[in-house]
Structure 1
Amino acid sequence: MLNKYARAFATRIFTPLARFLLRLGVTPDMVTIAGTVGVVACALVLYPTGHLFWGSLGATVFVLSDTVDGTMARLRGRSGNWGAYLDSCLDRFADAALFGGLAVWFARDGGSDLTAGLALACLALGSTVSYVKARAEGLGYTANVGIAERGERLVAVLVGAGFVGLGVPLVFLQVVLGLLAVASLVTVAQRMGTVHRQALPAPAPDA
C-alpha cells in the first residue's frame, strides 16, 4: 500500500528531474545502476563504521532513484520488461547491503548480537517475500498482497537506524526490526495462501 501512494507522490515531485536527465542523455538504466551503487556504498561503508544516521540519509537519497528511473522510462515511452527485471534484481543487492551493513556493525562494534540477529532475520525474510512473489508470477499466479512489501521494509530500516544514529535508544531499532521480521513472515504466509487458493482446482459445477 505504501508503495502505491509513495510512488504516486514521488512521481509528481521528480518528473521535472526525470525530464532534465533525459535531455542530458541519461538513460533509466544508468539511474537504476547508479542508485543501487549509492545505496550499497552508504550501507556497507557508513553502517559498519557506526554512522547510522548518515548511512540512512545517504541511502534514502539514492533509494529515491527507484522512482526517477521509472518516471524516465514512462516519459520515453519505453517502460518494459527489461527495466522492471533490472530494477528488481538490483533491489535485492540494495536490500542485502542495508540489513547486512547493520548486522556487521552490531555484531562487530555495536555490541548487540540481538540487533545483528534481527537484521539478518529481516534480510532473510525480506528476500523470501520477494522470491515468493517472483516464483508465483513465474508459474502464472499473482501474489500482490502483504503487509510488508519493499517500501514498508525500507522505511522501517532507514527510519529506525537513522533515529538510533541520532541518539535514540537502541531498543527502538530492536523493536522496529522485530516487528518488521514478524510482518515479513506474515507477508510470506499471505502470499503463499493467495497462490494456494489460485492453484486449487475449481470446484465441479452442481449437476
Structure 2
Amino acid sequence: MLDRHARGATTRVFTPVARALLHAGVSPDAVTVVGTLGVSLGALVLFPLGELFWGTLFITAFVFSDLVDGIMAREAGTTGRWGAFLDSTLDRVQDAAVFLGLSLWGFGVGGEPAVGTLAAVCLALGMLVSYVRAKAEALGLTANVGIAERAERLVAALVLAGLTGLGLPPAFLAATLGLLAAASLVTVGQRVSAVRRQTRRAA
C-alpha cells in the first residue's frame, strides 16, 4: 500500500480543500460522484482519441477526489456504511474506466494490441482482486493481503500512460501492464489462501 507518511502528507494538503467544500455546502457524496465522472470522461474519451498525456493529467485532477471525500466525511462526522459503499463501488468504476480506456487506445488509434490485451486482463483481474476481498468480508473473514493494491495499480498505469503520451515507447506501457496483471493474479492467490487458512482454523 502507499506509504503511511505519504498518505498523511496528502491528507494535510487536501484538508483545507475539504473544509472549503463543506463550508460551501458540497457533500462528500457529490465529490465522490463528480470525481468518478471526471476520471471516466478522461479515460473513456481522451485515451481512445490518443491523448494519453492530457488524459492522464485530466484523470489525475479528479483522482484526488477519492481522498477529499473521505476527509470531508470525517470532518463533517458523516462517515458511515453508505459512504463506504458508494466510495468502494465508484472506485471500481474508475478502475474499469482507466483500463478500458487504455484497452481501447491499444486496439484503436494506438495500434498496440499487446497494450489493449494486457489492459483488458488488468481490468478483469483488478475486479477479481476486489471481489475476493469483498466476498471474504461478507462472510466475516479478512482478505486484505496482497502485493497489488488498487492505489499501486492505478498509479503505475497512469504514470506509464502519461509517459507514453510524451513519447515513451509503448513497449514500456505493455511491460508495466503485464507486471500489474501478474501481480494482480498473485494477489488473488494470496487472498484466496488467506481465506482458506481462516476457514480451516474455524473448522
**Range into which the TM-score falls when normalised by the shorter chain:** over 0.9
Alpha-carbon distance in structure 1 between the residues aligned to 2:143 and 2:186: 13
Q: TM-score, normalised by structure 1?
A: 0.95
Quick one: distance in 2 between partners of 1:152 and 1:79? 25
How far apart, in 1, do the equivalents of 2:61 and 2:166 lie? 18
2:60 matches 1:52: no
The one-letter code matched in structure 2 to 1:186 is: V
- Contact 1:29–1:83 under 8 Å retained in 2: yes
| Match in the other structure for 2:84 | 84
Unaligned runs of 5+ in 2: none
What CA deviation, in whole Å up to 9, does each residue of 1:63-91 have, x standing for no partner?
A: 10000000000001111111110001111
Q: What is aligned with 2:183? A: 183
Per the alignment, in what secondary structure is the counterpart of residue 49 of structure 2?
Answer: coil
Distance in 2 between the 1:131 and 1:17 partners? Answer: 32
- C-alpha separation in 2, matches of 1:198 and 1:86: 28
User: Separation in 1 of the partners of 2:86 and 2:3?
Assistant: 18
* Distance of 2:89 and 2:9 partners within structure 1: 24
In 2: Cα distance, 1:163 partner to 1:52 partner = 8
CA contact (8 A) 1:146 1:187 kept: yes
Q: Which has the larger radius of gyration?
A: 1
Q: Answer whether contact 1:3 1:151 (CA < 8 A) is retained.
A: no
8 Å CA contact 1:15–1:71 kept in 2: the answer is yes
Moved over 6 A (4+): none
* RMSD (Å) for aligned C-alpha atoms: 1.2
134 and 3 in structure 1: CA distance in 2 versus 1, 3 angstrom threshold: farther
Distance 1:142 1:115 in 2: 33
Once the two structures are TM-superposed, the CA of residue 4 in structure 1 deviates from its matched residue by 4.5
- Aligned-pair CA distance for 1:6: 4.1
TM-aligned CA deviation for residue 109 of structure 1: 1.7
Q: Give distance in 2, aligned partners of 1:6 and 1:134.
A: 26
Write the distance in 2 (CA, Å) between the matches of 1:3 and 1:20: 26
Partner of 2:145: 145
Which blocks of at least 5 consecutive residues in structure 1 are unaligned?
none
Report the residue type matching 2:21 in the other structure.
L
TM-score (norm 2): 0.97
Question: What letter matches 1:22 in structure 2?
Answer: L
Letter in 1 for 2:149: E
How far apart, in 2, do the equivalents of 1:43 and 1:6 lie?
A: 25
Q: Is the 8 A contact 2:22 2:72 kept in 1?
A: yes
Q: Can you list the C-alpha shifts for 1:86-109, whole angstroms capped at 9, x where unaligned? A: 001111111111110111111022
Structure 1 residue 8: deviation in Å?
2.4
Distance 2:202 2:73 in 1: 39
Give the whole-Å Cα distance in 2 for the aligned partners of 1:5 and 1:58: 26
Number of positions where the alignment pairs a residue of Structure 1 with one of Structure 2:
203
